[in-house]
A and B are shown apart, each in its own frame.
Chain A
Amino acid sequence: MVRKRRPKLAVWKFASCDGCQLTLLDCEDELLRLAGQVQISYFPEASRAIVRGPYDLSLVEGSITTPHDAERIHQVRRASKVLITIGACATAGGIQALRNFKDVREFLSIVYATPEYIQTLNKSTPIADHVFVDFELRGCPINKHQLIEVISAFLHGRKPNTPPHSVCMECKRRDIVCVMVAHGTPCLGPVTHAGCGAICPAYHRGCYGCFGPKETPNTNSLSARWSHLGVKEQDIVRAFRSFNAYAEPFRKEGEAHDRA
């Protein structure tokens, strides 16, 4: 019998903190087994070896923020049979998308003495704004178990099981008392995509939206509830403008309250 060729895996980085690709190395119990299932062909954070493409599976971390990267993502797409984005930067523009609400030239002069040296785009945008993406894995950072699920789904040619419901469902399943109902703590859980395992409520704090909007979120209703709890308009704006600020439902809700 002919042994099947191991699929080639590539891991690419754009503007990001490296946390989502680190999640792969944080799979301490699974990493070596995974390395036996795929051929890790391009993963600079872990290896100086480079195997030429095309790649069967590309994991893409980070958002597009420079003219050079806006070109490079097309090369990555061309070299990839399946392209999966990992994390809030790649799926929603990340924390660096906070620039999208401001004038980036002002930002440059705050951080750099000689802004002329810096090349940057006005906006930080998700990968799907530039190329076709086969699947998006949410989270800031992504969840280790979901990453393994996505990779193994790919290896077996099936659809990944990453449910699009809200964090509230995870709270209920873990038997965590609702922090908003019981303690009046503002929580983004009702509009936030599941995947983290509802860790914030488990640690007695409100969800702050790392996983971005759930499927069909009612952000408007949640904001009304927050106002009821005494949260000020500007605080609502900031709550929606964090790690997934440029994801459409969060962006719109932020704008609706930003009428200063």
Chain B
Amino acid sequence: MKTKVIKVDYLARVEGEGALYVKIKGDQVMDVRLKIFEPPRFFEAFLRGRNFAEAPDITARICGICPIAYQMSAVHAMEDAFGIKVEGPIRALRRLIYCGEWIESHALHVYLLHAPDFLGYEDAIQMARDHPDIVQRGLQLKKVGNEIVRLLGGREIHPINVRVGGFYRVPTKRELIPLMEQLHWAREAALETVRWAAALPFPEFERDYEFVALRHPTEYPFNEGRLVSNKGLDIAVSEYDDHFVEEHVSYSNALHSTIKNRGPYFVGPLARYNLNFDRLSPLVRELACDVGLHPPCTNPFKSIIVRSLEILYACDEALRLIAEYEMPDKPAVEIQPRAATGYGCTEAPRGILYHRYRLGDDGTILDAKIVPPTSQNQKMIESDLWHFLPSRLDMPHDQLVWHCEQAVRNYDPCISCATHFIKLHIERE
């Protein structure tokens, strides 16, 4: 049988580093391995013995791209353990800072990491030579998201202002008002982004996925809700460990996560969108249908459109939150540590991020478990490639490799979170 070897040394434009290994014999795919050999950093180990109050600062360092997600999952898990519920303006500010992270992270992925694939550029800087206005629009959108995070969090990467119970300092309404002007611009830019993204050329590829996301009674989910899927899952966050299992495979430093007795599942914007379409604003829903994306959408390449729709949603939501904001008397709810176990799960830009902490009576962390979205999607990424490759083996070699990379980038994998290092080897026999 004909033997071919395709080899790419680095899967670029993802956060962190890893490798993809694909073996093909004749017209059959023999093996697909997403190898994550980003060095392990042992967060779950060194969280033991730290104080609960340090968790938002420490876990933020798992990822420079989505630190808010880590901070939000950590504070919610701690508050769950201490039996506290944060409501009102502080809750609203948490939603607002998450809007900022979604805008900045999605704009980064849509414009700088993913779009060059569709348009045939190796990076956004090359793309900017032919499409300067488009890249500029992406950068400015990203900047608006970063501005929100900076104002509420102190800085864009590893914000310092988030704490268990709320914030160290809350903004005055006057401080928030200038954001509105930027958000009005961003909203228009997001509208254009959706239309532009929807017109990109998409490979034909659809699958019957199990999507998992949070679902809240009234809102599009950020911090709260039950964990649901399109195949019958409907559980409280505290039941996560009963339904999901992590497996350690020899070729990856990141654990593989599956639903017990069912297999791989899909988290992230596409899952949120398919499960929570009815929670989006009427405008976003209308625009989605306008550009031909009525749910269910089961083509992972179209997640770039969904990310764009979520940018628009986040702009609208941020505007609403600022308009309704009234500064609370205190920046945080008072915390009384106690021995307990707490669970938190929030919607990182890339999907659900689960934290569980067991705490001693003085608030010392005795045990921590963190499951980032990328480790949950890992198996699905591999599974996509098994299905994606067979009908495309006639493609010129370089193009096929690029398509494989793109199929991985659909998930906006964050390998630093999962632990990470991506290299791509395709071996043909």
Binding site for B on A (CB under 8 A): 13-23, 25-26, 28-29, 31-32, 35, 40, 43-50, 65-66, 69, 94-96, 98-99, 102, 104, 106-108, 110-114, 117-118, 120, 140-141, 196, 199-200, 202-205, 208, 210, 235, 238, 242-243
Given contacts A22-B65, A111-B40, A111-B45, contact A44 B168 (CB under 8 A): no
B residues within 8 A CB of A29?
139, 143
Given contacts A18-B16, A49-B122, contact A65 B39 (CB under 8 A): yes
Residue of A nearest to B143 (CB): A28
Contact B48 A110 (CB under 8 A): yes
Contact A205 B168 (CB under 8 A): yes
**CB-defined interface of B119-134 with A at 8 Å, one 1/0 digit per residue?**
0001111101000100
In the complex, the number of residue pairs spanning A and B with C-beta atoms less than 8 Å apart equals 183
Binding site for A on B (CB under 8 A): 10-17, 38-46, 48, 50-51, 54, 57-58, 61-65, 67, 108, 112-113, 122-126, 128, 132, 135-136, 139-140, 142-143, 146, 154-158, 160-161, 163, 167-169, 247-250, 253, 255, 331, 405, 414, 416
Partner of A204, one of B45, B51, B123, B168: B168
Residue of B nearest to A88 (CB): B61
Q: How far is the CA of A17 from the CA of B70 in the complex (A)?
A: 12
Partner of B39, one of A23, A66, A141: A66
Those 3 A-B pairs whose CB atoms lie nearest each other, nearest first: A19-B64, A47-B123, A48-B12
Contact A20 B64 (CB under 8 A): yes
Contact B39 A15 (CB under 8 A): yes
Contact B122 A48 (CB under 8 A): yes
Contact A112 B40 (CB under 8 A): yes
Given contacts A14-B39, A47-B122, A111-B45, contact A28 B64 (CB under 8 A): no
Contact B50 A238 (CB under 8 A): yes
With both chains docked as a complex, state the minimum distance between the C-beta of B202 and any C-beta of chain A, in angstroms: 20
Given contacts A26-B157, A107-B42, A199-B155, contact A40 B125 (CB under 8 A): yes
A-B contact pairs, 10 of them (CB 8 A): A28-B139, A44-B11, A46-B13, A48-B122, A48-B405, A66-B39, A95-B43, A112-B248, A199-B154, A199-B160
19 other contacts beyond A110-B42, A141-B64, with CB at 8 A cut-off?
A15-B38, A18-B16, A19-B158, A25-B108, A25-B112, A28-B146, A29-B143, A32-B132, A44-B12, A46-B12, A46-B125, A47-B123, A47-B125, A104-B42, A108-B42, A112-B255, A200-B154, A204-B169, A208-B160
